């Protein structure tokens, strides 16, 4: 990432001017936004009149929250927190910098600031100057730096640029600009932007999955023009942002967590000898520069198969079949012992898959959701299916080009009449019905291949009734090779 523009910035804490060597047109060269003079003056007057606890800075997506159709959402999630909407339709990073340097931060020290900006910087259909993803991040970096200097006590929540797939037409019907290029630029800018978070003063949040259909396309029911979330989409945005925003504001959530705990992201739940957080650190290190062609996401069944990273004390149980399945390919293993769907969601929300664009993502999760402990209750098959849906949507959001292989949960316990067998069977039926015909997703249930004709699970395939042996993993490897 280039920070050339940031290095030459000279931000005057007590003044209202940003000096830069960059020429006009740069994402870090502050310029007023034409047509928004009246709104800016109104916002400055509001800022001078009172102190706010929450500043919401952005473009038209944020600006729209002031519209009557969004009033209920605003009042519940933001107005109740003494918030002000500093969104500007058509705004770019250079306009935001000018607004903030010219009165919109004067005397303010909010508890939190949300920042959603950048989509107009990549708009090649409506603006004469178009910025690269790296340039967009330079602009966002300048804004974050300014906010930190002007409001040092405030927590900044940086939102990933929302997905947009809208198409602009010329009079002759041909496309103006390129919707594909805008989408790709925003995707990349979001990946780079995540690196600005220090998780102390600046936090990054990706809620883009809430706007997608199962096939990974933007849902017009939520985003009617494929750019601006409508009220239904804005509500999902608010709900997805609420746990983080509530924490940063230091107040009580405006909405209770879902009853289905498998869709609520959470870190390590079970106390055992497994160093969950150390593995997270190992994964974050291993993914840098790897550019894997295959990523496997799951629990200990996935972790114990093989590949990198392998934690100390977790000797691979299927090295031969691993080498067979992924020969000649770089594969990253994101399996964790005792993980449930909600643990995977936390990991995806905390960077483990950010910046990765593998050819294939293999997901095998859900078996531990049927085990109730003091740390988490057991889930129903329908609840686990919902958690897995949330995982797939996150993967879709972060890497739209990746093909997903959704594994049916493997059978457990030796006896065919084990209660968990039925739960697993019911879950796999739900997954098959939901995902078998979704483009880009292959549902693969190899459970029957592990079983004897009478339904017994042989110990030579799963010695403990849960984790495959080398012979068991070979069944999985053959199935993946057959795709």
**The pLDDT value given to residue 23:** 81
Q: Specify if 255 maps to a domain.
A: no
Q: Are 290 and 236 contained in the same domain?
A: no
Q: Are 236 and 282 contained in the same domain?
A: no
How far apart CA 91 and CA 75 sit, in angstroms, is: 24
Q: Are 345 and 225 contained in the same domain?
A: no
Could you give the 3-state DSSP secondary structure of residue 173? Answer: coil
Could you give the 3-state DSSP secondary structure of residue 165? Answer: coil
How far apart CA 135 and CA 189 sit, in angstroms, is: 9
- Whether 113 has a pLDDT exceeding 70, the answer reads yes
Q: Are 357 and 433 contained in the same domain?
A: yes
Q: Are 270 and 233 contained in the same domain?
A: no
**Mean pLDDT computed over 373-383:** 97
> What confidence tens digit (pLDDT) does each residue in 178-212 have?
999 999 999 999 999 999 999 999 999 999 999 99
Range of the domain at 35: 4-249
> What confidence tens digit (pLDDT) does each residue in 436-458 have?
999 999 999 999 999 999 999 99
Out of 201, 219, 249, a domain closes at 249
Number of domains in the chain: 2
249 vs 19, which has greater pLDDT?
249
Using an 8 Å Cβ cutoff, are 169 and 175 in contact?
A: yes
Calculate the CA 471 to chain-centre distance: 36
How far apart CA 365 and CA 387 sit, in angstroms, is: 10
**The pLDDT value given to residue 19:** 41
> What confidence tens digit (pLDDT) does each residue in 149-160 have?
999 999 999 999
Using an 8 Å Cβ cutoff, are 360 and 332 in contact?
A: no
DSSP string covering 403-443: EEEEEPPPP-SSSTT-HHHHHHHHHHHHHHHHHTTSTTEEE
**The pLDDT value given to residue 315:** 83
Q: Are 213 and 342 contained in the same domain?
A: no
Q: Specify if 254 maps to a domain.
A: no
How far apart CA 74 and CA 80 sit, in angstroms, is: 8
Q: Are 228 and 326 contained in the same domain?
A: no
**Nearest in space to 168 (alpha carbons), one of 158, 179, 183, 157:** 179
DSSP string covering 442-465: EEE--GGGGS-TTS---TTTBTTS
Q: Which two tokens stand for residue 344?
A: 């995977």
Confidence of residue 311 (pLDDT cuts 50, 70, 90): confident
Q: Are 181 and 300 contained in the same domain?
A: no
Q: Are 405 and 270 contained in the same domain?
A: yes
**The pLDDT value given to residue 7:** 35
The helix (run of H) or strand (run of E) holding residue 46 is helix 37-49
Q: Are 31 and 178 contained in the same domain?
A: yes
Packing angle, helices 419-435 and 381-398, rounded to 10: 40
Using an 8 Å Cβ cutoff, are 443 and 435 in contact?
A: yes
Q: Are 145 and 15 contained in the same domain?
A: yes
- Average pLDDT value for the chain: 94
Out of 249, 271, 294, a domain closes at 249
Confidence of residue 353 (pLDDT cuts 50, 70, 90): very high
Confidence of residue 11 (pLDDT cuts 50, 70, 90): very low
- Whether 54 has a pLDDT exceeding 50, the answer reads yes
Q: Are 244 and 295 contained in the same domain?
A: no
How far apart CA 399 and CA 419 sit, in angstroms, is: 37
Q: Specify if 407 maps to a domain.
A: yes
Q: Which two tokens stand for residue 15?
A: 């003044």
Residue 89, domain CATH? 3.40.50.1110
């Amino acid at each position: 990432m280039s920070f050339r523009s940031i290095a030459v910035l000279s931000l005057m804490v007590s003044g209202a001017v940003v000096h830069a060597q960059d020429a006009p047109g740069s994402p870090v060269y502050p310029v007023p936004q034409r047509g928004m003079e009246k709104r800016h003056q109104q916002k400055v007057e509001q800022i001078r009149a009172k102190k706010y606890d929450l500043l919401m800075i952005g473009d038209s997506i944020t600006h729209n929250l002031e519209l009557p159709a969004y009033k209920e959402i605003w009042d519940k999630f933001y107005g109740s927190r003494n918030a002000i909407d500093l969104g500007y339709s058509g705004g770019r990073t250079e306009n935001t910098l000018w607004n903030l340097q010219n009165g919109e931060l004067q005397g303010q020290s909010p508890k939190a600031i949300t920042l959603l900006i950048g989509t107009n910087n990549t708009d090649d259909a409506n603006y004469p100057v178009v910025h690269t993803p790296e340039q967009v991040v330079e602009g966002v970096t300048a804004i974050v730096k300014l906010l930190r200097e002007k409001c040092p006590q405030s927590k900044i929540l940086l939102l990933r640029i929302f997905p947009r797939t809208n198409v602009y037409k010329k009079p002759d019907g041909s496309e103006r600009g390129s919707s594909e290029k805008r989408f790709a630029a925003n995707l990349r800018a979001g990946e780079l932007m995540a690196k600005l978070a220090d998780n102390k003063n600046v936090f990054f949040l990706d809620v883009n999955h809430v706007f997608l259909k199962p096939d990974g396309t933007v849902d017009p029911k939520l985003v009617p023009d494929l750019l601006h979330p409508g009220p239904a989409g804005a509500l999902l945005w608010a709900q997805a942002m609420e746990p983080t925003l509530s924490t940063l504001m230091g107040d009580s959530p405006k909405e209770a967590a879902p009853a289905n705990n498998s869709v609520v992201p959470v870190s390590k739940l079970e106390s055992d000898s497994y160093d969950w957080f150390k593995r997270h650190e190992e994964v974050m290190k291993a993914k840098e520069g790897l550019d894997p062609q295959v990523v496997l996401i799951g629990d200990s069944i996935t972790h114990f198969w093989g590949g990198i990273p392998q934690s100390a004390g977790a000797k691979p149980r299927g090295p031969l079949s691993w080498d067979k399945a992924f020969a000649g390919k770089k594969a990253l293993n994101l399996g964790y012992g005792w993980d449930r769907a909600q643990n995977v969601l936390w990991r995806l929300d905390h960077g483990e898959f950010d910046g990765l664009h593998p050819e294939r993502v293999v997901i095998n999760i859900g078996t531990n959701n049927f085990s109730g402990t003091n740390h988490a209750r057991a889930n129903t098959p329908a609840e686990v299916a919902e958690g897995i849906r949330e995982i797939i949507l996150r993967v879709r959001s972060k890497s739209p080009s990746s093909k997903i292989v959704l594994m049916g949960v493997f059978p457990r316990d030796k006896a065919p009449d084990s209660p968990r067998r039925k739960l697993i069977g019911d879950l796999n039926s739900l997954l098959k019905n939901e995902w078998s015909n979704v483009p880009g997703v292959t549902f693969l249930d190899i459970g029957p291949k592990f079983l004897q004709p009478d339904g017994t699970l042989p110990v030579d395939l799963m010695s403990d009734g849960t984790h495959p042996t080398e012979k068991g993993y070979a069944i999985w490897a053959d199935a993946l090779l057959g795709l």
